[in-house]
Amino acid sequence: MDATATPAAARRLPPVTQIAIATMALIVVGGITMASRLPSPPLPLLIGLLAAATVLLGANLVLLSRLRDFAWRQFFTVAKWTALAYLIMYGMLEFTFIYDKVPGSTLTVLTLMLLVIAIDVPMLFGFTVARYADPG
């Protein structure tokens, strides 16, 4: 290893993990709120939580895209397999919602919440692995 190289654990990285956890927390709060208030959940509150989670997810994607010296190969390897697992799992959940005849506006909010989590979790897992990998 080069004497001037910075070890992977010592690099200064943006707070991707913390923002991803905050995004997840907003979606979980929305899901619990929705489940506790069915069949008529408070959609304005849920849309607000979803919007806040989407803004955090977008900010996280921008922060992540600006990283130059990063183990992108490891990131994408972990993220793609995690995304596949989550897409299968959330596809089954979506089928259940449709099968149970969840009303249109509620179904839309649920679907978008699942989409945010389906992007957030693979990104979090990929980042967590790649941050400690050698970028070279």
54-99 residue pLDDT tens? 999 999 999 999 999 999 999 999 999 999 999 999 999 999 999 9
41 within some domain: yes
The pTM for the full model equals 0.88
Percentage, residues of the chain above pLDDT 70: 93
Type of residue numbered 20: A
125 within some domain: yes
Instruction: Indicate the number of domains in the chain.
Output: 1
C-alpha–C-alpha distance, residues 74 and 77, integer Å: 5
Q: Which of 58, 24, 50 is nearest to 106 (CA)?
A: 50
1-26 residue pLDDT tens? 454 555 555 678 999 999 999 999 99
Return the pLDDT at 12.
85
8 within some domain: no
9 within some domain: no
C-alpha–C-alpha distance, residues 75 and 62, integer Å: 15
3 within some domain: no
42 within some domain: yes
- The full DSSP string for the chain is --TTPPPGGGS---SHHHHHHHHHHHHHHHHHHHHHHTTS--HHHHHHHHHHHHHHHHHHHHHHHT--SS-HHHHHHHHHHHHHHHHHHHHHHHHHHHHTT--HHHHHHHHHHHHHHHHHHHHHHHHHHHTTS---
22 within some domain: yes
Return the pLDDT at 1.
47
Mean pLDDT of 15-39: 95
| Domain carrying residue 102 | 15-130
